């Protein structure tokens, strides 16, 4: 029985290490509902983002609108000033979403956030928007981050 308890404890610990935890985010104007934001790895806020590394971003949501297209817009907000962040693919329809987007359908948006070596070591907020055909935010979320060497 003791061996079984030890094995269960080890499996639980492994599951905790491997399982992603949703990130607590600030909703900045989403029309989508049931949003879950997961950034890997980001065990706590602010997310510490190391230079020369790439972080995976997964947003699960239910759309409340229909759209033929979707476009991601990402900014770092530093002292209230939005600075564009380059992401490898801004086309949401090529980031896990089957377009056209349909109302009341659940989607999983998947992308990555590369942190370049030339970025300064600084604390800021990352704001991530996915916009529909009319440039209205399907989702908009923001989290505090710290870029580190």
Q: Is residue 124 part of a domain?
A: yes
Q: Label residue 4 by pLDDT band (50, 70, 90).
A: very low
Residue 143's alpha-carbon distances to 48, 83, 85, in angstroms, are 11, 15, 14
What is the rounded average pLDDT of the residues 46-55?
A: 96
Q: Is residue 100 part of a domain?
A: yes
What is the rounded average pLDDT of the residues 3-25?
A: 46
Q: Is residue 1 part of a domain?
A: no
Whether pLDDT at 126 is above 60:
yes
Q: How many CB atoms lie within 10 A of CB 145?
A: 22
What is the rounded average pLDDT of the residues 107-123?
A: 94
If we measure between CA atoms, which residue out of 109, 85, 90 comes closest to residue 30? 109
pLDDT higher at 147 or 1: 147
Range of the domain at 74: 21-148
Relative to beta strand 47-50, strand 137-148 is parallel
Q: Is residue 73 part of a domain?
A: yes
Q: Label residue 86 by pLDDT band (50, 70, 90).
A: confident
pLDDT, residue 20, reads 56
Q: Is residue 132 part of a domain?
A: yes
State the distance between the two ends of the chain, measured CA to CA, in whole angstroms: 47
If we measure between CA atoms, which residue out of 37, 74, 40 comes closest to residue 59? 37
Specify the number of domains making up the chain: 1
Q: Is residue 143 part of a domain?
A: yes
Tokens of 1: 């029985």
Q: Is residue 9 part of a domain?
A: no
Domain with residue 98: its CATH number is 2.60.40.770
What is the rounded average pLDDT of the residues 49-77?
A: 96
Q: Is residue 111 part of a domain?
A: yes
d(CA 90, CA 118): 21
User: Cis omega before residue 18 (within 30°)?
Assistant: no
Whether pLDDT at 19 is above 90:
no
């Amino acid at each position: 029985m003791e061996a079984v308890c030890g094995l269960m404890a080890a499996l639980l610990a492994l599951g905790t290490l491997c399982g992603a935890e949703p990130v607590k985010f600030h909703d900045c104007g989403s029309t989508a509902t049931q949003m879950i934001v997961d950034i890997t790895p980001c065990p706590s806020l602010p997310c510490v983002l190391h230079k020369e590394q790439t972080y995976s971003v997964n947003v699960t949501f239910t759309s409340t609108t229909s759209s033929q297209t979707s476009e991601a817009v990402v900014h770092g907000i530093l002292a209230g000033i939005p600075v564009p962040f380059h992401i490898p693919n801004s086309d949401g329809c090529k980031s896990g979403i089957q377009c056209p987007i349909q109302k009341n359908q659940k989607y999983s948006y998947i992308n990555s956030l590369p942190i370049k070596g030339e970025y300064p070591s600084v604390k800021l907020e990352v704001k991530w928007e996915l916009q529909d055909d009319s440039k209205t935010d399907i989702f908009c979320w923001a989290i505090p981050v710290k870029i580190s060497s």
